[in-house]
Amino acid sequence: MIRLRYCVAILGLISSTAWAQDTALVMSLQGKVTRAAQAVEAFVKLKQGDVLTLDKEAKLQVVYFEGGRQETWTGAGKLEIASAESKATGLPAPQVKQLPAVMVKQLARTPSLDSQGRAGVMRLRSIPTPEAIAKVEENYKKLKAEADKTDLGPEMYRLSGLFEMRELDKVEQAVADLQKEHTGNLEAKLLASLYNKALKDAKAVQAK
């Protein structure tokens, strides 16, 4: 019994540590950025201890889940992901912005692709109410009104919120809205692709 409790405790510690390592999200990326010699793309989650290498044409925007600090880095250098802000080598000081807590909380739940390109399907915590759905849309409109026209943060918030509640028809509509409003935007196209994969995988789970 003692050994069993010990194993459960260790597994719980490992699980919580792995979760805690996801500390930031790439909000936007231009130019070449690599992590362990592998190219980094927008909307990828970063773990504490990751070291990113930026080339001279790079522009990278990351947001930290703890504290909501958004950093925009430009130029060549290295960036180490810490718990609440980055540690830079050879890079000029970043532009820093504080994102609303309601937005950051939802961005942390952005689906991630595994090594086979499948999007993780989060467990539905409770049956969504019309009020909860309306709240996401209300917050989205407020965030969008305060953001630049090219800022995809509000779209990311809306998609993540609707997807977490399994409002798949509304996610499809949000993806269509995203593509219509940001035609020609490569990052919008990548975000739409991420959620199209997430929709496909969520529907496959529902069909079982």
Q: Which residues of 148-173 are buried (b: 16+ CB within 10 A; e: fewer)?
A: eeeebbbbbbbbbbbbbbbbeebbee
pTM attached to this predicted model: 0.85
Q: pLDDT of 112-170, one tens digit each?
A: 865 445 555 555 556 788 999 999 999 999 999 999 999 999 999 999 999 999 999 99
Which token pair is 146? Answer: 């305060």
Q: pLDDT of 161-173, one tens digit each?
A: 999 999 999 999 9
